[in-house]
Amino acid sequence: MTHTRRSFLKRIGATAAAVTIGGSALGKNDAVTENKPNFILIFIDDMGYGDIGCFGSKKNRTPHLDKMASEGMKFTDFYVTSSVCTPSRSSLMTGCYPRRVNMHVNQRNLCVLFPGDPKGLNPNEITIAEVLKTQGYATKCIGKWHLGDQPEFLPTRQGFDSYFGIPYSNDMGGRSKSKGRPPLPLMEDEEVIEAPVSQDTLTKRYTEQAVEFIKANKDNPFFIYLPHAMVHLPLYASKDFRGKSANGRYGDATEELDWSTGQILKTLKELKLDKDTLVIFTSDNGSNGRNGGSNAPLRGRKGQTLEGGQRVPCIMRWPGRIPAGKTCDALTSTIDVLPTFAKLAGAKAPTDRIIDGRDIMSLMSGKKGAKSPHEAFYFYQMDQLQAVRSGKWKLELGLESRKRNWGKPEGQTTMKLFDLKNDIHEDKDVSAANPEVVKRLLALADKARADLGDVNKPGKGQRPAAFVKKPIKQYLKE
């Protein structure tokens, strides 16, 4: 589909009409700003399940995150919808599987978007930021976007009042114009302010931006989306952290991210915003397993549909609303963030389209008897359905040619069933002993194929991404 350029304000008006309260469209924002919780969503790049202390790391010092977990709740069965950047982020923003919004591959059938890609998240999709804007929220994106670098697809066109960050991964900058890619740009709103960006200080500058935004909006409801550049390769840390960890550059970068989270929590306490703010810390996918990252005790890594690729650490903290020191092992996902935030802000998730996520506040609040709202969770590798989870069961589908994000396909695979409650490492196939479970999960897989599609088969519930006819590589600072 070729996207027709339209103004951001016009789109926000359409969004306000689609997102309703009590069945009626919202009017002026200033009437709905009272008693709204603040939201801070910290999204790390490539952090593994076992990379922070409260999730088992013995290498990386993460005292602030460990304290956050002791004051909040750990989610041990929290999933992203893809094991790589772009599709995972599209789900977080829209509450939908990547195939639903056609962000599972780029226009060349590669697994993520690249600089100058003509494809991006369709501006007709409704993001978390747009839902919250209808409720009077101030919104800011600080960090890596990676949902399209063309002007039509930038955060400022997707519900964010302002943006400070890099538009794609920190390894995607060219060394010179002749290489076909511009130097890695740091952007403020829609302008390049530094190229190539100095990555040594990115985490520090992102933290400063977040603290400043909190202080500037302490009297109004706000939403900060903080998708850090680290710990994606190449690894960087500022001078206060460089060479200080026991885990090389990876540990240095991880410990600075821990410090960053501590600065944000400290600011909330100082401004007496603690009890008014929900803070979520999680990752966009598992670690690639190189340079110090760990997905232990899970099997697999970034780029795979094994648990290590898509189950990620998650901590949620909201004093007085989320019980302290608790753990939730119910199946939850980034697709649940949009409907949960919408409900808490007094809005509704969009009702004019399918949203795959569900409100999980009953789990977050520790409500007795609360269960996962998901009958099933689907593991896609690009356009291929590879596994299904329902309850404690995960079925790896038998495939003629199992796709990989990078490199050659893995070849033919046999169907396997795992009991994740008792076999978190996916070692023992128990399909022979549980034929009824296999039958039920195969039926769920067929349901996903009909709705979301599979290799060379579109799904009836898919929506188009957006494309520009003539993409520009405008991020060259002269």
Catalytic residues, by residue number, are: 85, 146
Q: Which of 193, 232, 153, 257 is nearest to 468 (CA)?
A: 153
Exposed / middle / buried, residue 263 (Cβ in 10 Å: 0-12, 13-18, 19+): middle
Q: The tokens of 360 are what?
A: 């999980």
Exposed / middle / buried, residue 389 (Cβ in 10 Å: 0-12, 13-18, 19+): buried
Contacts of residue 10, Cβ cutoff 8 Å, sequence gap at least 6: none
Angle between helical axes of 248-270 and 202-216 (0-180°, round to 10) = 10
- DSSP-H helix ranges across 400-475: 435-452
Beta bridge partners of 325: none
- DSSP-H helix ranges across 235-358: 248-270, 307-310, 337-345
Distances in Å between the alpha carbon of 196 and those of 185, 247, 256, 478?
6, 27, 21, 11
Other CB atoms within 10 A of residue 13 CB:
13
Distances in Å between the alpha carbon of 304 and those of 24, 111, 162, 289, 299?
43, 12, 34, 12, 10
Q: Name the phi and psi angles at 206, rounded to 5.
A: -60, -40
Do 77 and 374 contact (CB within 8 A), yes or no?
Answer: no
